[in-house]
Amino acid sequence: MPEIVESPFRLTSDDPVISRADGVASTWSDLWKYQVPIGVSLILKPEHTFVANLEHTVTTGCGNATCMVKIEKRDASESEVVKVFFDLYYAVKEWQDQSKMAHLQVPPEGIIINEREFLVISAFESAGAIQAVAAGDVSYFELRIAKVRKALGA
């Protein structure tokens, strides 16, 4: 039986397989969508962190009270959805102090995102459209999670 290897994984908006889209004002918009590759699974645990910088078309930075962010696990058909994070944008803005970084809102045993399933980061901003592609990728994120894969030759 193959040995399962869990290792830290840093998923960012710069990952080459992430699809990106700009947001639409006053609408929940999928900004980044990552489909888990074949032979790999992701595991999301309560101690894992999420940080983001969101810019929109009206002013510099999204509003603390007008912008919300969520992360979802979606099955391969995107018909089944599990929310793993939901909060005001203000909660995910801290990049320096690890004790203030946002933590994923998952059960203690964690959530597994299997191969071909999606991890999706969406946002809602009532004051303007979020720019995840336009203007040189001024919006970006980092998720510190874990990757699970089968060991080679096992």
| CA dist., res. 45 & res. 47, Å (int) | 5
The total domain count for the chain is 1
Mean of the pLDDT values across residues 11-26?
Answer: 92
- The domain in which residue 109 lies consists of 4-150
% pLDDT > 70, the chain:
88
What's the pLDDT band for 151 if we cut at 50, 70, 90?
low
| pTM exceeding 0.85 | yes
91-121, pLDDT tens digit by residue? 998 888 888 899 999 999 999 999 999 999 9
Q: Residue 25 contacts by C-beta under 8 Å, 6 or more apart in sequence?
A: 56, 57, 125, 126, 127, 128, 129
Identify the bridge partners of residue 146 per DSSP, sorted by sequence position: 8, 43
Assess whether pLDDT exceeds 60 at residue 86: yes
Mean of the pLDDT values across residues 47-68?
Answer: 81
Q: Which residue is it, tokens 């980044």?
A: 32
- Strand order, beta sheet including 118-125: 19-20, 29-35, 118-125, 67-74, 81-88
Q: Are 47 and 103 in contact (CB under 8 A)?
A: yes
Helix (H) or strand (E) holding 121: strand 118-125
Assess whether pLDDT exceeds 80 at residue 61: no
pLDDT attached to residue 137: 61
pLDDT attached to residue 82: 97
CATH of the domain at 111: 2.60.120.1170
Most distant CA atoms of the chain, gap in Å: 55
More confident residue, 31 or 2: 31
- What's the first-to-final CA gap in the chain, in angstroms? 7
Assess whether pLDDT exceeds 80 at residue 122: yes
Tokens of 28: 């929940």
Mean of the pLDDT values across residues 29-38?
Answer: 96
